[in-house]
Amino acid sequence: MPTPDKTSVDAIVSAARDLLETESLAGLTMQAVARRVGVRAPSLYKRVEGRDHLVRLVAEATLTELASRLDAATTAAKVLDGYRTFSHEYPAAFQLCMGQGSSPSVAGHSYWEAASAAVIRISGELAGAEHALDAARTLTAWAVGFITIELNSGFNLGGDVDRAWKFGRTKIIESITLTRGRY
């Protein structure tokens, strides 16, 4: 005799994302997720393959949201700022995506592609099609590195972190723009 469903994949992923931000990755346990969605831990295995799979779904949902955020940006500065703003809203999820992943990268290829599209588009405009990929990697590397260090309180030598962001953003965009037609 069928039982009415008490939860769903969406509810589970949503609860997991909440827990990740409020309790850290270590606090994202199957039991905690189960409690949030009103079910016992073993029931989660009807919807997700296990904790690793659930973490992957969280990463992919995060990248999808990041992609749609970045797609709306019209200038390089706005794309870079989009990264940073997003990382401040979802610091743990952002680092999950970028950080020491589970084995084969924590999210599927297509999710990365979607999140990269905006940077590549902008990079092509700045540096020309020939150097679009190199330029995109330079921009992304700087933003990801800056944010990673910032989120881990790595900028602890004083000074104004916002000023450092603007300084770097200006320098990076400037140097990429100078690429057009040479290098």
**What gap in Å lies between CA 106 and CA 52, rounded to an integer?**
9
Q: Which residues of 36-53 are buried (b: 16+ CB within 10 A; e: fewer)?
A: bbebeeebbeebbeebee
CB of 136 to a copy of itself, least distance (A): 8
CB of 146 to a copy of itself, least distance (A): 4
Helix and strand numbers (H, E) in the chain are 9, 0
Distances (CA, A) of 9 to 22, 46, 63: 20, 9, 17
Q: Pick one of DNA, a copy of itself, none as the site partner of residue 67 (Cβ within 5 to 8 A by kind).
A: none
Nearer to DNA, 19 or 70 (CB): 19
Q: Does residue 42 touch DNA according to CB under 7 A?
A: yes
Q: Pick one of DNA, a copy of itself, none as the site partner of residue 168 (Cβ within 5 to 8 A by kind).
A: a copy of itself
Q: Applying CB under 7 A, which of residues 15, 16, 19, 31 lies at the interface with DNA?
A: 31
Contacts with DNA by CB under 7 A lie at: 1-3, 5-7, 28-32, 39-43, 45-47, 50-52
